[in-house]
Chains A and B, each alone.
Chain A
Amino acid sequence: MFMSVILEEAGSHRNNRLDSENNISIKVEKLTKKFGDFTAVDSISFSVKKGETFAFLGPNGAGKTTTIKMLTTLLKPTSGVMLVNGYDPVQNQDAVRRSFGIVFQDESLDEELTAYENMEFHGVLYKVPKELLPKKIEELLKFVELWDRKNDFVKHFSGGMKRRLEIARGLLHHPEVLFLDEPTLGLDPQTRNHIWGYLRELNRTEGITVFFTTHYMEEAERVADCIAIIDRGTIVAEGSPGELMKQTNTNSLEDAFLSLTGRRIREEEIGSIEQMRNIRKLWRR
């Protein structure tokens, strides 16, 4: 399979790791992030085993995206310790960056480029060896069933096609962990099913650790080995879907989630990003 191609090369930067526990992929201890007076993430601790599919759930504004940003070197924590694949995202940014792939909550493709060019751009940035790059791009685009659209501009793609392309792109440099922040948001059941199909296959055949967030509880119930529920910046429960249901005496993860986080709707203020998105919509039409 495509992953075996650069397995050897990936091994070269796995020396001098801080973590000796070989079966731990992500470890977080007392992680805190404050924005001024507001504590977005409040001293959370959890760990994710290698090869696990880990769901990070919580209502809007609970601190999920902030946590992912800290794990992926985009934000510096206020305090606490993190290890991603044995490296510290604060001290050893580049080693961490090479070791994970990410699908952001917001779309992060260049719409003026083709699917192939987006892949190529990523490959060059991640220094995938030149002679391997075309082959790997082909394999991954075939894997997400976009090979026949490789020369089309991304601006003509549907939401589901963009997501699939982002997943292919996130896998190009052979990461050990794939972070997905609401990967199935706004997609139809067929596409969602497809996407989880790809991720399961990767997880099974390549042993990639999958760390994801979602608001679709039935998805988490179906695919996650382990779930952590975060609310108002703290982790309120952790365990397998079955354990969480047992703990809360409920029959579905959705009910377990509601019983743990309450039924009150969380209002989020519309931020400047949302406002800009609206402006862009006007510009594009």
Chain B
Amino acid sequence: MGTIYILWLRQLKRYMRSHSRIIGSLGQPLLFLLALGYGFGPIFQKAGQGNYLEFLAPGVIAMTILFTSIFSGIEIIWDRQFGFLKETLVAPASRLDIMIGRTLGGATVATIQGIIVLLISIVAGFRPTNYVLLPVAILIMALIALLFTALGTAIASLLEDMQGFQMIMNFLVMPLFFLSGALFPLQGLPEAIILFSSLNPLSYGVDGLRGALIGQIYFGFGIDFLVLAGVSALFLAVGSYLFSKIQV
């Protein structure tokens, strides 16, 4: 218990202290919201789909959480090369606790980032339709965060250095984001894209978030929660296994 707590606390302290990281990581979602939100707004409107900013905001929140989570998982590579991981790995503490504490810490940070982006989008003109469902939205954010931090940890446990990082960004993180329905509705798309999107766990996160915030839902809350929780559990298990195999 102590191990999980202290590793969680470490992630949080590191986050709170790096102001440049907080501000830097909010720049991108802000750009997406303003440039895409206002840029595509008129076309979206003409196509009879309503307000694009309303549609986009949940997607951008999910994007922020995705990026922050994967990054904080991948951070293990830095810790590994610059020694701090060794300090934790020679300690008489269970590797499972270390992995869980770290993952929960990363997930907490990503959820906070998501909430900040939600607040920013409200400032930018986004209006959630139903404030009662806000706790549900936050729960979904936390699940997205947990899922992708665990995935980041699993990937980082397999990598020796940052060489493969660009590959992961281009061939995993970006496709996950673009094909999640974060930027456009899934209805009426080619079969292949719909198939990929339904295999993409982020789609269920975006869907649940959109359902909770603006009342538009594609898969349904039940399926969204089931998929998010199930895949999180799977990634946690795989991540723990791979983390326990790390030799430095």
Interface residues of A (CB under 8 A from B): 69, 72-76, 93-95, 97-98, 102, 104, 106-110, 112-113, 117, 120-122, 124-127, 169, 272-273, 275-277, 279-280
Residues of chain B within 8 A (CB-CB) of A95 are 92
Interface positions of B from 210 to 224, Cβ below 8 Å from A: none
Assess A272 versus B163: contact at CB under 8 Å? Given A106-B82, A112-B13: yes
Assess A272 versus B91: contact at CB under 8 Å? Given A106-B82, A107-B82, A107-B83: no
Assess A75 versus B10: contact at CB under 8 Å? Given A124-B2, A127-B92: no
A72 to B86, CA, bound (A): 10
User: CB distance A124 to B3 under 8 Å?
Assistant: yes
Q: List 8 A-B contacts (CB under 8 A).
A: A74-B90, A93-B92, A102-B90, A108-B83, A108-B87, A110-B84, A125-B92, A275-B161
A124 to B101, CA, bound (A): 13
B-side interface size class: 20 to 34
User: CB distance B88 to A112 under 8 Å?
Assistant: no
Residues of chain B within 8 A (CB-CB) of A73 are 90
Interface positions of B from 52 to 73, Cβ below 8 Å from A: none
Report if B34 contacts A (CB, 8 A): no
Residues of chain A within 8 A (CB-CB) of B13 are 112-113, 117
A272 to B161, CA, bound (A): 7
Please, which residue of chain A has its CB at the minimum distance from the CB of B246? A74
Please, which residue of chain B has its CB at the minimum distance from the CB of A166? B87
A98 to B162, CA, bound (A): 32
Report if B167 contacts A (CB, 8 A): no
Report if B93 contacts A (CB, 8 A): yes
A95 to B91, CA, bound (A): 10
Residues of chain B within 8 A (CB-CB) of A69 are 248
User: CB distance A276 to B10 under 8 Å?
Assistant: no
User: CB distance B92 to A94 under 8 Å?
Assistant: yes
Interface positions of B from 85 to 102, Cβ below 8 Å from A: 86-93
User: CB distance A276 to B83 under 8 Å?
Assistant: no
A181 to B162, CA, bound (A): 25
B2 CB, nearest partner CB in chain A, Å: 5
Assess A75 versus B91: contact at CB under 8 Å? Given A107-B83, A108-B86, A280-B82: no
Please, which residue of chain B has its CB at the minimum distance from the CB of A108? B83
User: CB distance B90 to A97 under 8 Å?
Assistant: yes
Chain B contact residues: over half helix, strand or loop, or mixed? Answer: helix
A167 CB, nearest partner CB in chain B, Å: 13
Residue from the set B3, B78, B86 with the largest chain A CB neighbour count within 10 Å = B86
User: CB distance A273 to B81 under 8 Å?
Assistant: yes
Assess A108 versus B92: contact at CB under 8 Å? Given A124-B3, A272-B161, A275-B161: no
Tell which of A75, A94, A276 touches B81, judged by Cβ atoms closer than 8 Å. A276
Residues of chain A within 8 A (CB-CB) of B3 are 124-125
Please, which residue of chain A has its CB at the minimum distance from the CB of B163? A272
Tell which of A74, A108, A121 touches B6, judged by Cβ atoms closer than 8 Å. A121
User: CB distance B92 to A97 under 8 Å?
Assistant: yes
A94 to B95, CA, bound (A): 11
Residue from the set B3, B6, B90, B248 with the largest chain A CB neighbour count within 10 Å = B90
B4 CB, nearest partner CB in chain A, Å: 10
A75 to B247, CA, bound (A): 6
A109 to B86, CA, bound (A): 10
Residues of chain A within 8 A (CB-CB) of B93 are 125-127
A107 to B17, CA, bound (A): 21
User: CB distance A98 to B92 under 8 Å?
Assistant: yes
A106 to B83, CA, bound (A): 6
Residues of chain B within 8 A (CB-CB) of A273 are 81, 161
Residues of chain B within 8 A (CB-CB) of A279 are 162
B38 CB, nearest partner CB in chain A, Å: 34
Q: A74-B247, A110-B14, A121-B6 are in contact. List 10 more A-B contacts (CB 8 A).
A: A73-B90, A104-B83, A106-B83, A108-B84, A113-B13, A117-B13, A124-B6, A125-B88, A126-B91, A273-B161
Residue from the set A93, A117, A124 with the largest chain B CB neighbour count within 10 Å = A124
Residues of chain B within 8 A (CB-CB) of A112 are 13-14, 17-18
A276 to B163, CA, bound (A): 9
A97 to B88, CA, bound (A): 11
User: CB distance A127 to B90 under 8 Å?
Assistant: no
User: CB distance A76 to B247 under 8 Å?
Assistant: yes
Residues of chain A within 8 A (CB-CB) of B84 are 108-110
Residues of chain B within 8 A (CB-CB) of A120 are 6
